[in-house]
Amino acid sequence: MMFLWDWLTAALSYLGLYHKKGKLVFLGLDNAGKTSLLNRLKFGTMATPHPTGQPHCEELQIADMTFRTHDLGGHKQARRVWREYLPAVDAVVFILDVSDPGRFREAQKELQGLLKDELTSGVPLLILGNKIDDPRAAGEFQLRTAFGLHGLTTGKETASLPEGRRAMELFMCSVKEKQGYGKAFRWLAQHF
């Protein structure tokens, strides 16, 4: 069985993405899974993190790609500083907790603000619907409807886009069960 790192390394090698560097920001409401995903990608482990009190930075290396990732936290106070990290960002990863429909409106407001922000208008936006392993989880169609994503996303298999079109796609995943985010990051690598 290949480990996630081996699998991502092979995929990035196949895509010819060597010696690339970039800045990613992980955004989303508190308890969506941003820090858990970062720990899973960096260390391959699933630890139950404490709520992110302050923004922190980690460097991820996959094959010959180096990502400087910023986990900015998702509580109301932390969201006020998100914009300070957006200049010169190469991609945004927005994580949603699909098991908590009571917070969809709040998350949708933050996502809409991000979509309207000129600092990120040209960068790829990967939306991860996390916690699909939870029995209360919303499905992909329900999520696309709740967040107004129908017609906005660009396709999971699309490698090239028309000039001026932002790459944006929703992938359903479970960080806990190691499902779905590998394909999502392969998609992101194509548009990075």
Which residue, 190, 189, 186, 179, is CA-closest to 40?
179
Known binding residue 102? Answer is no
Cα(34)–Cα(73) distance, integer angstroms? 8
130 is in an annotated binding site: yes
- Which residues, including other chains, have CB under 8 Å from residue 89's CB and lie 6 or more apart? 23, 24, 25, 119, 120, 123
Distances in Å between the Cα of 143 and the Cα atoms of 19, 51, 191 are 35, 24, 23
Ligand-binding annotation for 64, yes or no, is: no
The reply, when asked if residue 132 is annotated as ligand binding, is yes
Q: Tell me if 32 is assigned to a ligand binding site.
A: yes
Known binding residue 156? Answer is: no
Residue 73 is labelled as binding a ligand = no
29 labelled binding-site residue: yes
Q: Known binder of ligand: residue 175?
A: yes
30 is in an annotated binding site: yes
- Residue ranges of the annotated binding site for Mg(2+) are 30, 35, 52
- Residue ranges of the annotated binding site are 28-35, 52, 74, 130-133, 175
- Residue ranges of the annotated binding site for GTP are 28-35, 74, 130-133, 175
